[in-house]
Structure 1
């Protein structure tokens, strides 16, 4: 069973245990250390929230990656179009160098945004020459907008990566405490309901499922 499946299994059983504890708390609490039941309730909520939050964080990260790839592709095309306009119209070598002609553009954020910045700076320095070959202020506005948006998207994505890691860490720690509390509560129930086996069985049935290690395959004859 995967880690996510184990956690979902634990949460489902913890929710059932909550209903039992609310009725049986007076019989259980005296057999447990202070804070075990309250900690169980708190960690159950945390496990639920971070389990859902971790999924959302991963989905957001994937969506941001797709958006980033699209922006890289569009910006790369626009930058190359300006370079091509300069080359095809035989602008002086100095201007072509300022545009970044001859420099490879990769699919990385840094490569594309650096190339866009060169074009923006070149347009400011050689506006008349570039206007004559058909590069309009609207083209530069679009390149600037995409560069800035791509830079922002990249920062957001890095923040989401941290958010996802934080969510996973919080979830795993809460899940560990939840399992410990459930074991203690079931142990207390063994004594509290020793004379009521039917009720005791309700607690025993809520032991979280543990993953079993895979047995190595038998050697072939």
Structure 2
């Protein structure tokens, strides 16, 4: 399976009652899943959501088989355009997940912090960019692509051949001579002065065991597969 993208979110709110936290997590997954089904144009994929209490920390992942990704890219005709479009869709549904996660806490003024990772789609786009900048040859890019997709590359030969043709057709940027830094740039810099403080040994405190938290895991192995839920006490 190919990692299409991951969304992490954090909401600094007090812990909820256990039953309420479980309902919050499963409802969030259902809302996210419905949105993904309408906005991610792939024939099949797998969704997974993990939400942990102690504030609210969550991560949503979307993965797909390379063959399903290939079919999705084919909807757009141009290989590079297909990658860019699907990556944009994955990013958009990640924003939706974070927005829905923070929805119940908006009245309390809690901010939702979000971090997104582009997964294999971002790495693919990076290969094209490096070839364009002449930092990598087509052969080197294909070797990295084969390493990225592992055994799935052998199961989707059409994907790899189309990828190679697209990389070969990628227009190269004009080479430019590197600019030497000016004398002003060479001399500029910042330094910070830190006051030395005498270290004091903190008073010994009794060891308090960390509170037990719950993590709720909700996922579907395929687009139309059965939803599964697991609750783990950490």
TM-score bin (small chain): under 0.3
Q: Which has the higher strand share?
A: 2
Q: Which has the higher contact order (CA 8 A, sep 6+)?
A: 1
Report the TM-score when normalising by structure 2. Answer: 0.23
Q: Which has the higher helix share?
A: 1
